[in-house]
Structure 1
Amino acid sequence: MNAMTPLVGEPLAIDLVNTLTAEGDLLQDPAALGAWLALEAERLPGFDTAADRAALDAVRSVRGHAAAAFGALAEGRRPPEPALRGLAAAVNAAPSSTRLTWDGAGVAATVRREGAAAERLAAELAQAAVDLLTDPAVAKLRRCGAEDCVMLFVPAHPRRQWCSPERCGNRVRVARYYERRKAGR
């Protein structure tokens, strides 16, 4: 796995925050945003992977607010008020309406957002951040245990230490192995 390949599989808001890595910004241009949207297509259906500059700017703004809020929580601090206001503003910039329909077996809900594509995308991502911030699972939020990693994750298992066993876990284990071998000489 390339160190510059986005990690996916955490809650959507954490996947977004984790596009800003110690190695650099994985959303450096509209094409990179489009590639990330393709990786997240199941969770963000209906968003065009041919992103433009307006979408990139809107997503980066949401990411900044979410990173500030989640980073503070991971360090046991209160999320900054400007970050919370920024997330709320992004959600409210593309108001949603819900339509309920009967499909013969159950009720289905369809949520539609109003506004430009960039605002709708930012609102969906900001809503994902709000949903996680208000979920009790946010109390489990942790930063990767590797010294040079800034990734966040919500562990499914309490002993999980790294953002990814393939990315940081293996690297840390190999470094420890070489340290022990060097010390044993």
Structure 2
Amino acid sequence: MAELGPLVGEPLALDLVNTRARLPGQDFDFLSDMASFRHWLDCEREPLTAAALPASLLEAPTKRDLSAVRALRDHAAASIARARAGQRPAAADLRALNEAMHAAPVRRVLTGTDEGAILQPVRDGEKGTRIVAALAEAVAELIADPAVRKVRNCEADFCILIFLPMHPKRRWCNPAICGNRTRVARFHERRRARRT
């Protein structure tokens, strides 16, 4: 597990789905316990605070928060898979995403500053509800965006991660892990073939 951590840096919705990962012979869940959940929230601090969540909200998540995020992850994975295939999300997934977003809506607040005023988004609701709402909103934005059709599966045989390539030639979720393992496996395969 030392070489594998959560894949972050993709759109937040994909980062959520990618909290489940696989290496040959080993599955990982980066939301398996409170320590891994806190680590993932810390990795996602920037996109979550951009989604109208104060950084302090991410400091002390509860087991209930973890359970809610894990449940949302299942709806996110199913919705994204269907959207990638050009299909409408299942009714249960739509309902779960909408309920999560409506439980902690975003409102805008005008605040005075020394330079004038700024308009800031503020998300209402309980702490855990706000985290889940921000994640649900990220999923909703992705599945409503035509770019969802560009989301790819990692080309490594063992990998289950998905990504939105910024470059059309990107083939792996992480070139240092999946790309390297794939190249090494192909090298050994060619070597074995030459010996026979």
Could you say whether these structures have the same fold, taking a TM-score greater than 0.5 normalized by the shorter chain as the test?
Answer: yes
For 1:148 and 1:134, locate their aligned partners in 2 and report how far apart those are by CA, in whole Å: 29
* 1:32 maps to 2:42: no
The match for 1:162 is 172
The match for 1:144 is 154
* 1:174 maps to 2:184: yes
CA gap of 1:62–1:109, structure 2 versus 1, over 3 A, is farther
8 Å Cα contact 2:85-2:149 kept in structure 1: no
Deviation, structure 1 residue 19: 0.2
The match for 2:46 is 42
> Over aligned residues, Cα RMSD in angstroms?
2.0
* 1:20 maps to 2:24: no
8 Å Cα contact 1:31-1:51 kept in structure 2: no
5 Å-filtered alignment, 1:1-185, equals: 2-22=2-22, 23-45=27-49, 46=55, 47-75=57-85, 77-101=87-111, 108-185=118-195
For 2:84 and 2:3, locate their aligned partners in 1 and report how far apart those are by CA, in whole Å: 22
**Secondary structure in structure 2 of the residue aligned to 1:42:** helix
For 1:155 and 1:14, locate their aligned partners in 2 and report how far apart those are by CA, in whole Å: 12
8 Å Cα contact 1:35-1:49 kept in structure 2: no
For 2:91 and 2:175, locate their aligned partners in 1 and report how far apart those are by CA, in whole Å: 34
Deviation, structure 1 residue 124: 0.6
8 Å Cα contact 1:8-1:40 kept in structure 2: yes
**Secondary structure in structure 2 of the residue aligned to 1:111:** strand
Deviation, structure 1 residue 2: 3.4
5+ unaligned residues in a row in structure 1: which ranges? none
8 Å Cα contact 1:54-1:118 kept in structure 2: yes
5+ unaligned residues in a row in structure 2: which ranges? 50-54
**Secondary structure in structure 2 of the residue aligned to 1:97:** strand
Deviation, structure 1 residue 60: 0.9
Greater strand percent: which structure? 2
The match for 2:52 is none
Greater helix percent: which structure? 2
Deviation, structure 1 residue 24: 2.6
**Secondary structure in structure 1 of the residue aligned to 2:119:** strand
CA gap of 1:77–1:95, structure 2 versus 1, over 3 A, is closer
Deviation, structure 1 residue 80: 2.1
1:23-79 Cα offsets, whole Å, 9 max, x none, are 131101122111101111111232323221111011112111111111233455443
For 1:77 and 1:174, locate their aligned partners in 2 and report how far apart those are by CA, in whole Å: 37
CA gap of 1:115–1:141, structure 2 versus 1, over 3 A, is same
8 Å Cα contact 2:20-2:30 kept in structure 1: yes
TM-score by length of 1: 0.90
